Structure 1
Amino acid sequence: MFLQRSAAAVARRAAVSPVISPVVRRSFVVSAIRRDAKNVEPKASVNQKVKAFEEVRTEEDLIGPGAAPGSVPTDLDQSTGLERLEILGKMQGVDIFDMRPLDASRKGTLDNPIVVKSAGDEQFAGCTGYPADSHIVTWLGMTRERPIERCPECGSVYKMEYIGPQDDGHGHHDHHGYEEPKTFADYVKPQYY
């Protein structure tokens, strides 16, 4: 009787113990190997000095060095392009994309509009009214050809200021003869603005 109970207990313990699949067993083996990978000599690109924001001149300067083998890369190690430029700027205290909110302390007029800076040919701005949050967000679209826009809810005037690169003289801005469709605003006399 004693042997029957012992055999049942052993069978229960054997059934409860997890069976380690080859995939799980392999991942533990690989992690043990990766743990020892920190002794490997790093590549030359990892030893690159991180350039300061002022030292960025070309697109090649915006490619990160990558992480050392066996380590987890940080955002600074693996970022490239505009993301890297933004991170380098934030490290120096420069807000590359000017993410400050627009001036909501006053209502924009034609004589003194609220200025919206843009590096592209068009820019969208969200008006919440004056005083702030007096109406739901109304999105206004401004272009280089039509830089002034008025909110239909509160009447606040916004003006796009283009700060991007100057025209290169190749005529790329004409969009191959595309003309923007006319709206009611095209027929309003300028003195009524």
Structure 2
Amino acid sequence: MFLQRSAAAVARRAPVRAFAKVRPFTSSVARFDSKLDKPGKIVSYEEVKTEDDLLAPGAKPGTIPSDLDQATGLERLELLGKMQGYDVFDMRPLDASRKGTLDNPIIVNSAGDEQYAGCTGYPADSHPVNWLTVSRKRPIERCNECGNVIKLNYIGPEKDEHGHDHHGYEEPKTFADYVRPEYWYR
């Protein structure tokens, strides 16, 4: 009787596929793009001129690809820069050896319209991270906790290359919008 119960329990738990000869239907989609018809080539950081230079050649058949063989786009640009000794995205931490003031703020470089910077206070790690947002319209921001001041140094193109006004985006209102004009920093 014990064997009958255990055999029945095993049969209930066994997958149906084990007993039926059913072949599952699968399909795959292949995407063909005219840019990807020709394999990329490995170029140095200085030779990168267009987006097509950032396409990867891929690995030779039968080999395992390295990061450089398969990275494309911005990741490939970063790898090529690091191989030449350039830090493309300037990933160094901000200056934490001093406290930023309105006269001498901590400088944050950005090629975009806005940048986020985390303030941990002065001396470093004296309070939890407060994320501050600086933009081209509002380039100076002050930490609410410690009073540290950061300033955006815009290093991107002067005009908007893709020719639109960011779809009417307005920055959200903050308490700084309600401060009297004579108290504004310039």
TM-score by length of 1: 0.70
What is the CA-CA distance between 1:88 and the residue it aligns to? Answer: 0.3
For 2:39 and 2:70, how far apart are their aligned partners in 1?
12
1:187 equivalent to 2:147? Answer: no
Distance 1:169 1:64, change over 3 A: closer
1:83 equivalent to 2:75? Answer: yes
1:54 equivalent to 2:46? Answer: yes
Which ranges of 4 or more aligned residues in structure 1 deviate by more than 6 Å? Answer: none
Alignment of 1:150-169 (within 5 A): 150-168=142-160
The residue identity in structure 1 corresponding to 2:101 is T
Distance 1:172 1:83, change over 3 A: same
For 2:106 and 2:143, how far apart are their aligned partners in 1?
11
What is the CA-CA distance between 1:190 and the residue it aligns to? Answer: 5.1
The residue identity in structure 2 corresponding to 1:61 is D
1:142 equivalent to 2:134? Answer: yes
For 2:55 and 2:163, how far apart are their aligned partners in 1?
32
Kindly tell me the number of residue pairs found equivalent between the two proteins: 147
What is the DSSP-based 3-state SS (H/G/I as helix, E as strand, rest coil) of the residue aligned with 1:172? coil
Higher helix share: 1
Alignment of 1:6-85 (within 5 A): 45=39, 48=41, 50-85=42-77
Distance 1:191 1:171, change over 3 A: farther
Residues 60-115 of structure 1 show CA distances to partners (whole Å, capped at 9, x for unaligned) of: 11111111000000000011100000000000010000000000000001111101
Unpaired segments ≥5 residues, structure 1: 1-43
Which protein has the larger Cα radius of gyration, Structure 1 or Structure 2? Answer: 1
Distance 1:92 1:169, change over 3 A: closer
Higher mean C-alpha displacement, 176-185 vs 135-144: 176-185
For 2:156 and 2:137, how far apart are their aligned partners in 1?
14
Distance 1:145 1:125, change over 3 A: same
The residue identity in structure 2 corresponding to 1:98 is D
Q: Where does residue 106 of structure 1 map in the other structure?
A: 98
For 2:125 and 2:142, how far apart are their aligned partners in 1?
17
For 1:83 and 1:177, how far apart are their aligned partners in 2?
31
The residue identity in structure 1 corresponding to 2:172 is P
For 2:127 and 2:181, how far apart are their aligned partners in 1?
27
